[in-house]
Structure 1
Amino acid sequence: MKILLVGPYPPPHGGVSVHVAGALDHLRRAGIPCRVLNLNRSAPESERYIRVSNVRDLAAVLLRHARAGWTTHVNTNGHNLKSWLVALLCGVAGRFGAGSLLTLHSGMAPAYLLGGRFWRRSLAWSACTFYSRIICVNREIEETIASLGIARERLAVISAFLPPAPQKLVAPDALQAWIRNHTPLLSTALFYRPEYGFELLMEAVAQLRLRYPNLGCLVMGSGEQETEARNLVRKTGLAANVLLPGDVSHESCLALISLSDIFVRPTLEDGDSISVREAIALGVPVVASDVGARPPEALLFKAGNTEDLVAKIESCLGMAQRGRNQTESPGPYLDRLLEMYTAAVTRKNGYGYERRTCARIFRQMTNDK
């Protein structure tokens, strides 16, 4: 068994890229040959992954690994055209090798597929037919894929959370003084895009500061609207209470979460937040919006409702001092994933597609790109 993980890889550190990096480490520790095909065109050169810059290169890498007996595992959001085109190309390539799996991570995928034109659903259905198993990170995504006509026995709902390996967590020196001067301390990890709820969080911080003058809010992440976010912090007079360190390493992110009094997930839409589950595994209380898949330990607030977010944070701050949990074992997740890899190898997916048909589709997708 040899696994080719296809998807983004840090940096930047987001839910899907962190999952891919974690899966690579866990599979290698389990003695399973594993490589990453990084789909981020701007990614720097690295020994940790294979980088491609165009469709032809992507197709060549996929086909080379498929013919060498690698099983392809695609990790994608499922909420835009590029995501489904990549899924289709990878699925077709997997038909020539040891099978393929698809994981859909984004809570925005259902709205994209159900609220758009018919061609979106047709493309998604076509892509899904090439995969032996499709992993959905929550029930809503599973229901949406099933509504396309994909058999339920090929669908599985599994959280994308992989507990990090035990390690000593140390916050970056540059941030430790700021952290010591702020209490209580909130933290979050996000991309600066509308669905992540940064403005909502800032509204809540502005209200909470009236009761907690020394409140600190640490916002880790990057994104196309980062400049606007920094301007918002400055214009609203929150610069003394809000720190935006940008994209940080996964190890630093875990260390900073571990020092927090509360981890906040203010998203307006969500799949299954890895950072929420990481915070819980670290023993940090979580206040999260009531969208996507949430573990029972999280305290939920009504998505988009500032007053409810403030109330839940205050309620959480009033609770007794938390205990610290041991890091969870990745065993159950990996065991189930390995079963799917084995099934993919034996089944070779395809579902009725002859290789000549797959070859024709493959050529059409890679010509003139």
Structure 2
Amino acid sequence: MPCSAEKSTQAGFMSRPRIAQIGPWPSPWGGISVYVQSLSRYLADQGADVIVLDTQNHELVDESGVHVLPLPSGRDQSLRAARLLAAHRCDVAHLHLIGFPWKAVVPFVLACQSVGVTLVVSVHSFRVESQPELNAWQGALLRGAARSLPQIFASGEHVADRLINHGVPKSRVQAVAPFVPPIPAEPLDARLPEHLRQFCSRYQHVVAAGAAALTRTAEGQDLYGFDIFTEVANKVAKVRQDVGFVFQLPRLGDEALFKAAMQQCRSLGERLFVHREPLEEGSDLWAVADVFVRPTRSDGDSVSIRESLSLGTPCLASDVVNRPTGTTLFRSGDSADGAKELLGLLDNLQAAQEVVRAAPQPQGAATVGGTLRSLATETHTLQRARQSITRALWAR
């Protein structure tokens, strides 16, 4: 039986189609959790009833009215999700994944089918999980599950290509930018903590970067490129005395990576600020920065790059994947090239800002939101029709 909180949630969800997001809700902040939160709020603003089954186990009601419920990890996660989807009478579930693992896709497809919920999947990257080799029956299960999905959203063309290469039907895959433009604070630094505002005020220019937590690539290198950022900062600081550097790092992650990078940039002293507290809105730091840097050695369609560009902040990123129009690139892992490009941006900041303002903005939120609302309405109508037929038959 649903608990009292679930019953009250249901009471508000009786008249309209309902959409469930399955994925992480911040904090901690990361690209996917930011997208889950911003897309949920976007859907709510568009008039949809939304709940989130949170794989980071928060339980709250967001300011937008979105109900966030915990969904613990474990072998029975898909069954737990099915029970919650049924209890809250959801019509569509939107599952957020890294990679396209059969051990996640197949159980969630079966679980959603068992409770009459339409499942849509977003694959955000393959950067952490390399898609394992599948035997014949595993591959058949995965391809069958993929064919049963009405839509699979891929975060960029490179992710779409990987999915198709793994046997996912091309007709099911659509490449989108997983992004909802942030609403900046007024003034821009209003939501930043006082110590961070004070640091930024000491310098004519601020260069920012960040990561949810430091982690390694499959080859053992720094995935988010904190080491590259500190090397670039070292080189630029010797030329420009008016620049401060901020790295947003709410969770430490791999301590050895952190210590090694900090050791090599001791000469920066107080000009490097590693901010270790979560921000109210992660994009607020990109809004006040003069340049945002994304030095990753592997990546998907970076939400933080999209955020910085939408806020008018020039962005410097590694060339490890295709980047959005308006992004300045440097060779992945090459701090000398990164420093050269960063100095070019700082020396010609006004021109760089004009390039960013002229760049097109992605329509991913409208595409994904429109699909979810349409499928939810279709499923909702079908379910109500089935209920009416059942009641009519039992009334005879």
Shorter-chain TM range is 0.7 to 0.9
Correspondence 1:46 to 2:74: no
Structure 2 match to 1:93: 111
Higher relative contact order (CA 8 A, sep 6+): 1
Structure 2 match to 1:33: 49
Amino acid at match of 2:205: P
Correspondence 1:285 to 2:306: no
Measured in 2, the distance between the counterparts of 1:274 and 1:218 equals 18
The offset of 1:69, in angstroms, is 4.0
Aligned residues: 339
Structure 1 match to 2:218: none
Amino acid at match of 1:203: E
Measured in 2, the distance between the counterparts of 1:132 and 1:173 equals 47
Structure 2 match to 1:315: 344
User: Pairwise mapping of residues 227-238 of structure 1 onto structure 2 (< 5 A)?
Assistant: 228-229=257-258, 232-234=261-263, 236-237=265-266, 238=268
The offset of 1:152, in angstroms, is 0.9
Structure 2 match to 1:176: 197
Please say which of residues 237-246 and 135-144 is displaced more in the overlay: 237-246
Please say which of residues 94-103 and 221-230 is displaced more in the overlay: 221-230
What value does the CA root-mean-square deviation take over the aligned residues?
3.0
Q: TM-score, normalised by structure 2?
A: 0.77
Measured in 1, the distance between the counterparts of 2:86 and 2:180 equals 26
Amino acid at match of 1:159: A
Measured in 2, the distance between the counterparts of 1:186 and 1:287 equals 10
CA distance 1:306–1:231, shift in 2 (3 Å): closer
Q: TM-score, normalised by structure 1?
A: 0.82
CA distance 1:143–1:319, shift in 2 (3 Å): same
Please say which of residues 253-262 and 51-60 is displaced more in the overlay: 51-60
Structure 2 match to 1:12: 28
1:210 aligned counterpart, secondary structure: helix
1:248 aligned counterpart, secondary structure: coil
371, 376, 385: which one pairs with 1:339?
371
CA distance 1:228–1:183, shift in 2 (3 Å): farther
1:20 aligned counterpart, secondary structure: helix
CA distance 1:127–1:184, shift in 2 (3 Å): farther
The offset of 1:166, in angstroms, is 5.3
Unaligned runs of 5+ in 1: 349-369
Please say which of residues 308-317 and 233-242 is displaced more in the overlay: 233-242
CA distance 1:331–1:167, shift in 2 (3 Å): farther
CA distance 1:305–1:231, shift in 2 (3 Å): closer
CA distance 1:26–1:344, shift in 2 (3 Å): closer
1:118 aligned counterpart, secondary structure: coil
Measured in 2, the distance between the counterparts of 1:125 and 1:225 equals 36
Q: Is the contact made by 1:13 and 1:250 (CA closer than 8 Å) also made in structure 2?
A: no
Measured in 1, the distance between the counterparts of 2:379 and 2:61 equals 32
Task: Encode CA deviations 1:125-159: one digit per residue, 9 max, x unaligned.
Answer: 45534422110011121111112222111100000
Q: Is the contact made by 1:5 and 1:36 (CA closer than 8 Å) also made in structure 2?
A: yes
Q: Is the contact made by 2:91 and 2:379 (CA closer than 8 Å) also made in structure 1?
A: no
Amino acid at match of 2:214: Y
CA distance 1:127–1:309, shift in 2 (3 Å): farther
Structure 2 match to 1:211: 239
Unaligned runs of 5+ in 2: 1-16, 63-67, 216-221, 381-396
